[in-house]
Structure 1
Amino acid sequence: MSGVFIDGVWRTGAGSEATSVDPTTGEVIWRQATAGPADVASAVAAARKAFPAWADLPREERIAVLRRYKDVLVARTAIFAEALSRETGKALWETKAELGSMAGKVEASIKAYDERTGEHASDMAFGRAVLRHRPHGVMAVLGPFNFPGHLPNGHIVPALLAGDTVVFKPSEETPLAGQLLVEALEAADAPPGVVNLVQGGREVGQALIDQEIDGLLFTGSAAAGAFFRRHFADRPDVILALELGGNNPLVVWDAGDAEAVAALVVQSAYITTGQRCSCARRLIVPDDATGRAVIDAVAALSERLTVGPWNGREEPFMGPLISDRAAAMALAGAKAMPGQTVRPMTAVEGLSGAFVSPGLLDVTGQTVPDEELFAPLLQVRRVGSFDEAIAAANATRYGLSAGLVSNETGRWNHFLKRIRAGVVNWNRPTTGAAGTMPFGGLGSSGNHRPSAYYAADYCAYPVASFEAQAVANTLGDIKGLRE
């Protein structure tokens, strides 16, 4: 299998050779030539050529392709999940769940299309008012490394369902996952040119966004999202759907059992080794004995978390970061952060350089950069009142996810009115999100085009029509007409 898939054919890319490395062992698990500029242009041309026929297909036929794709994912779950674990280092329990989410996205997207877009009509006195939705055209999808199957899948499935065609560039950190996703669509008999794959790094991404595309669907960092906004400032015809990062707060107030609270905090902050955009980065607690009890309970529970290989003897809660380089950057960032160390984030002895331990840092009274550190480091801030807690939670340019842990319904109602975030959870981890809900945020966390259930909104545009089946004489409706 070659690394580029264009117009239904696998081919060797014209770019430089790239590899993907298992962060657990350092073993090379994928090696291919990346796409060259001509490959990218060919992929977009193939998608453009395939678009009219794909868009004109009866919707039921597009649904049939996607349901076959779902069946392929289910049949290949074991192989695909193991490949994801090797490429990302994530525990097998987590990558199996990722495959389940990918398969589940098909039926959820069909339902979302019907509810959010589709076709709706109503009879009026002089005809029918009809609302239809039409696909944009060629969608460029840029995938992230943390959920290299689930997140691009969440763009690709609704785009194909709407009648768009796709050029997909996976993260350069996880090319194997992208290849397996496209192989599954190929096995589902997606027509040639409907889905195209170009592998490579920033230069390939740049070549793709320089093409005449109709939309860019992106999941990744706020810095990259800001670059895309600037890049397309003079191209309003290109729809941008940007799902970006977060500096997410989790407020604990009047919550009772500190150990129960700690379980929610740990699942918010440390799951996926902190490599979820919805992970809690900031824990805000009362500056009293109850707050200190929560901090102590989180520190104690984090000590019990197993950090290790996905295929180790002991099932891990946390695997490695995506690479040794990512771990080195995270450790340097944690070291530079002001505050009192409750539990240090450190390299893990006896494992590869990509493994780090969960860290806990008390930054009360400190000025901390408002940045997303994509690693298992949680900052604690102690405050004097619940209003101060909400103000501290909102003190960020991001606005993706936020949470409240509290037994007081009144606290929740007040929090829900005042907090600024697109995903706001109560007594659940900040990382929890239902597939039947939108997913996206405010500020530097996105551009008001949430994904998940609302992906249907950015994959098609509305066309409003006023229609009559026959020509009627409307001379009588013309005011001021002379005899």
Structure 2
Amino acid sequence: MTMLQSFDPATGETVWEGEIAGPQAVSAALLRARKAFPAWAALPVAERVAAAQRYKAALEARKDAIAQIIARETGKPMWETRTEVASMIGKVGLSITAQAERAGDRQSAMPFGQAVLRHRPHGVMAVLGPFNFPGHLPNGHIVPALIAGNTVVFKPSEMTPATGAAMAECWAEALADHRHVFQCIQGARETGEALVAGHIDGLLFTGSAGAGAHFRRIFADRPDVILALELGGNNPLIAWDSADVDEAASVVVQSGFITTGQRCSCARRLIVPDNAFGAALVDAVAGLADRIVIGAWNETPEPWIGPLISDAAAQAAKARFAELVERGAKVIRPLNGVEGRSGAFVTPAILDVTGIFVPDEEIFAPVLQISRVPDFDAAIEAANNTRFGLSAGLISADDALWQRVLVEGRAGVVNRNRPTTGAAGSMPFGGLGESGNHRPSAYYAADYCAYPVASFEATDASGNSGALAGKLRA
């Protein structure tokens, strides 16, 4: 029996241990999901909604325990994991509303009948979850998929299996009368490969752009499988002017360093004018970064950020940082470890990369790259100089500049005078380029969880012969 373990990155303590699902176990789970699908899809949507509401109640009853599980597995502070669980709970109501609005039945009177629009579930959906928001992000796929009438086989990240197991417990309670509608399987790459290669009708994935590109390739000859990809980004933040430099610096720090830089919507590139404001802002960002409280999830005073997900992740980020320095980047703040802490802890880092070539890659860590430009045309050009397109932002009081960013920028989430990481669950979330495949999640998840069926129908066949009157031989 092969076992999987997860660890608290702050201490190395084992958080969870369980059996890995091998290829045969994955196939069996998919077969169970396939057999459970017809009855689940045939239920009135109100009954599936009621199950989702029971799941919501189960989350609410366990919210503190689940927040602690997420904190232990990811290293995130409790203030952030409580917010994550609250988002999971809120997702249920948003998904119910979105299902009715975007995938509900419609009908209108037509001559000799009715035009009717219905939506049907795809079938068996595979959901692969990430480690950074191990509850909220897969939850955003799972809830709408089940409400739409699909069955789900969910593989959490191998870094955060305990969070997936906690979600599975809540669904087991909510779906007590509907076995195998939701299943959670645990494992790493081999388990995920078996799931993706199996008989599925959809893959709902949140993770790296590299993995997303891999899925695009392997599903090129499987057009029957719906593919929804929520990927990373090399996100730009243009900070052009502000009456309050400290407030602008706060937007930058929250954009670049929240969740220890482990959000796909974090700002990776700060673009500033090459003038006094730009210089003052960079200084203010560096000073504010120095004051960030870093610590373990259960410490007092409560930290703002914790460690990266693992020692290996920290080493990889440091190697990428060193590469930028070798290319000529000027170090404003180094990416250091934290004395007396595990190897997963790092300090927020700031580099000036003006005038040097920087690979268009996402560094999934608190690393902010500064580019100084002569004018706003150059700022727009620099912001768009990426193959990604997830999030972007502008710090400016100038409405005309904001309009330019809205028209000329290329990203799925574009914020003004607010962190690039801010997003409303009542709106779509996703990007273009290598940040996604034009199937945004959040409120628009209902769109990829069901397909439309358009019908022209009448209760009997009367009225059709008139169309042939006078046009047939006697």
Whether TM exceeds 0.5 here: the answer is yes
**1:235-274 counterparts in 2 under 5 A?**
235-274=222-261
Residue identity matched to 2:68: E
1:476 deviation in Å? 2.5
Of 388, 406, 431, 1:416 maps to: 406
**1:162-181 counterparts in 2 under 5 A?**
162-181=148-167
Task: Determine the structure 2 residue equivalent to 1:184.
Answer: 170
Q: So what's the TM-score if we normalise by structure 1? A: 0.96
Task: Determine the structure 2 residue equivalent to 1:291.
Answer: 278
Residue identity matched to 2:168: V
Distance (whole Å) between structure 2 residues aligned to residue 476 and residue 408 of structure 1: 64
Distance (whole Å) between structure 2 residues aligned to residue 266 and residue 45 of structure 1: 47
Distance (whole Å) between structure 2 residues aligned to residue 77 and residue 278 of structure 1: 25
Task: Determine the structure 2 residue equivalent to 1:6.
Answer: none
Gaps of 5+ in 2: none
Residue identity matched to 2:464: T
Residue identity matched to 1:406: S
Instruction: Write out per-residue CA displacement over residues 187-218 of structure 1, whole angstroms, 9 at most, x where no aligned residue.
Output: 22341110011100110000011111000000
Task: Determine the structure 2 residue equivalent to 1:214.
Answer: 201
Asked if the contact 2:112/2:463 (under 8 Å) is kept, the reply is no
Task: Determine the structure 2 residue equivalent to 1:335.
Answer: 322
Task: Determine the structure 2 residue equivalent to 1:404.
Answer: 394
Distance (whole Å) between structure 2 residues aligned to residue 256 and residue 415 of structure 1: 20
Residue identity matched to 1:75: A
Secondary structure, counterpart of 2:372 in structure 1 = strand
Distance (whole Å) between structure 1 residues aligned to residue 442 and residue 464 of structure 2: 46
Secondary structure, counterpart of 1:482 in structure 2 = coil
Task: Determine the structure 1 residue equivalent to 2:24.
Answer: 38
1:329 deviation in Å? 0.5
1:148 has 2:134 as partner:
yes
**1:322-471 counterparts in 2 under 5 A?**
322-337=309-324, 338=327, 339-471=329-461
Instruction: Write out per-residue CA displacement over residues 77-129 of structure 1, whole angstroms, 9 at most, x where no aligned residue.
Output: 11110111000000000000000000000000000011111100000112100
Residue identity matched to 1:303: D
Gaps of 5+ in 1: 1-13
1:314 deviation in Å? 1.8
1:65 has 2:55 as partner:
no
Asked if the contact 2:252/2:285 (under 8 Å) is kept, the reply is yes
Distance (whole Å) between structure 2 residues aligned to residue 473 and residue 259 of structure 1: 73
1:138 deviation in Å? 0.1
Residue identity matched to 2:334: P
Task: Determine the structure 1 residue equivalent to 2:293.
Answer: 306
Distance (whole Å) between structure 1 residues aligned to residue 186 and residue 16 of structure 2: 12
Residue identity matched to 1:430: T
Asked if the contact 2:55/2:173 (under 8 Å) is kept, the reply is yes
Task: Determine the structure 1 residue equivalent to 2:42.
Answer: 56
Distance (whole Å) between structure 1 residues aligned to residue 275 and residue 416 of structure 2: 22
Say which is worse superposed, 312-321 or 137-146, in terms of deviation.
312-321
Task: Determine the structure 1 residue equivalent to 2:87.
Answer: 101
Of 271, 280, 284, 2:267 maps to: 280
1:475 deviation in Å? 2.5
Secondary structure, counterpart of 1:78 in structure 2 = helix
Q: CA RMSD in A?
A: 0.9
Secondary structure, counterpart of 2:87 in structure 1 = helix
Secondary structure, counterpart of 1:396 in structure 2 = coil
Asked if the contact 2:308/2:365 (under 8 Å) is kept, the reply is yes
Instruction: Write out per-residue CA displacement over residues 316-374 of structure 1, whole angstroms, 9 at most, x where no aligned residue.
Output: 11100000000010111111113101111111111110000000000000110000000
1:29 deviation in Å? 1.1
1:452 deviation in Å? 0.4
Secondary structure, counterpart of 1:261 in structure 2 = helix
Task: Determine the structure 1 residue equivalent to 2:78.
Answer: 92
1:473 deviation in Å? 4.0
1:75 deviation in Å? 1.0
Task: Determine the structure 2 residue equivalent to 1:82.
Answer: 68
Q: So what's the TM-score if we normalise by structure 2? A: 0.98
Distance (whole Å) between structure 2 residues aligned to residue 120 and residue 357 of structure 1: 54
Q: Percent identity?
A: 62
Secondary structure, counterpart of 2:370 in structure 1 = strand
Asked if the contact 2:84/2:135 (under 8 Å) is kept, the reply is yes
Distance (whole Å) between structure 1 residues aligned to residue 378 and residue 369 of structure 2: 16
Residue identity matched to 1:188: A
Secondary structure, counterpart of 2:456 in structure 1 = strand
1:430 deviation in Å? 0.2
Secondary structure, counterpart of 2:350 in structure 1 = strand
